[in-house]
Structure 1
Amino acid sequence: MKLKITPRQWTMTAPFVTAGETVSEIDVLHIELSIDGIKGRAETMGVDYLGETITSMEQELGQLSEATLASLNGSNLQALLPPGGSRNGLDCALWDLRSKHASKGIAALTGIPLSPVATLYTLSLDNPENMAKCARDAAHLKHLKLKLNANETLQCLEAVREARPDASIVIDANGSWPESLLWNLGDDLQRLNVALLEQPLAPDQDFRLENLNYPVPLCADESCQASGDLERIADCYQAINIKLDKCGGLTDALRMRDWCRQYGKQVMVGNMLGSSLAMAPAMVVAQGAAFVDLDGPLWQSNDVQPELQIINGVIQPPAPELWG
């Protein structure tokens, strides 16, 4: 088994603004595993708010010995590396490599047939007027995700809802709301038909949500990195945002998906931004998910080839030449 690591940079079509940061370009690693002339590949960017960088992941992956790589498989990888970007890159590349040997690809390996899914499209944090304009400009996209912090929160939501009465709306606060805002906005979120509220409070405030009967479903993002976190936050959230970079790849993501289905939690499949190569493995987890947020390629000025086919927000399953 040979490992090849290639840094790449993707430029955004416009600044991607959340409650915590403004992103104009992203740095990623392309991971390639090859054996006997067959190659499996993946893309990872890690979890920046946990301190992961391209440099830290390159160092982590560079420490793997030839003997370790020679015996690498999906099972021992879970113990070899912790959840995060490095494991995600290796895990998804391994799945792709195995898929090359399967007559029906990734569907045969996982038992999950792939069908098209409709993705959310993110509206960056901005003032109410600009967010409403972006919502109108995206009239062909029926599922919107609003990045909202604690400033002009209701005004932004009302402006978007007025601009797009037809749209399904999810709000992502990225843990930026004070507790008082959460309580004060509950009835308004219900009135304005918000489908889901993602990570309203900071992760260390999860206890305030325990067994809370809130007017709209609450979703854990930063509060739930991997499958090991699920039991801890089970009584605080009705939905879980599963991201490959957070949990360390498709293997743990499928474990999280199974747990959510068993315990009646809604599944949201998200992304840390990235190209079609980063989104393709998440299409497996997205099958049957209540919310799909795989719009990363729509935010980029260019993409890998072949790219995912995304028409009016509907993502087609990846071509085998891309992944899986």
Structure 2
Amino acid sequence: MRVLAALSGGVDSAVAAARAVDAGHDVVGVHMALSRNRDEYRSGSRGCCSIEDSNDARRAADILGIPYYVWDLSGEFHDLVVKDFLSEYSQGRTPNPCVRCNEHIKFDTLLERASALGFDAVATGHYARIDIREDGIRELHRAADLAKDQSYVLAVMGPQKLAKAMFPLGEIATKSEVRAEAAARGLGVSNKPDSYDICFVADGDTKGFLERALGQEDGEIVDETGAKVGDHTGAYAYTVGQRKGLGIGRPAADGKPRYVTDVNTTTNTIVVGPETLLSVYELTGEDVVWLAPDVPATESTACTAQVRAHGDAVPATVQRVVDGEGRDRMMVSLIEPMRGVAAGQSLVVYQDTRVIAQATVAKRAL
């Protein structure tokens, strides 16, 4: 097969590309440039799109003996990921930009270009597994290394994109094995630290980034009774479940900590309350992506549900329904409560290690 290997400049993508070469595929490496102004992004190894990463990707391609190109996807990244991030926060929602990047850039724009150029698949260094059943159905599963599993952020890709994806690292037991393999192959990125945090927030100050982009707007912090307990300079800077940085001068009547329980950007009000108000038992998801055509979507199905990339999966049931306004929805009933779920988060449901579906949290109920 002709395989396009996405080279981020890290150890995972380099080893994934090497494994694709070993498998006998005709491999071409490509690095996605996500910003024309590199100063806007994290430097060194903290992000995934610095100028150092581009150079590391080129050196890896040279060692592997494969062609290498840099594609400028900065416009698409800004329009589809950064703007979405700002829009979601301005509405009081809590987005996951890595999910949007995987959806729109790595497995939409990249696959579209790869297909146009005649490639059969795109290989990445994500930690996830693809199992192909005898009936031809492709299943997305958690990686063998659960500590590095990235199936949560990949669930949004859907079955059509899954059909052209390759994850050569899915069966590897530990990250240390990947580093050892990279060292054995002579890849200079073998000891490079993992990337983390939001790559386009250059200084790591998400609140400051939002403030610069969205401006300040003074508002009130109120408790569950509606009584004012503090002030803020922008509701977008808060998320459900937040405890620190509230700036509330006086403690609650019972002396216990208070948490953000709601963000209302219409009134520019932050509501705080006791921890008990953070637990939810019902979740409604929109923009549904159903990855299991063999699982009846309209029947209540036992599953586990997850709302954070490395959060715990909670026992639940899932059902796909059409609401009274004709909108496609995913209803998840939790057997055990989840704490601090915010609208805008990615909701992924599993059967054992298999991803069944993904949606964006629209509503939550205590």
**TM value normalised by structure 1:** 0.31
Higher helix share: 1
Name the structure, 1 or 2, with higher relative contact order (CA <8 Å, separation 6+): 1
Larger Rg over CA atoms: 2
Higher strand share: 2
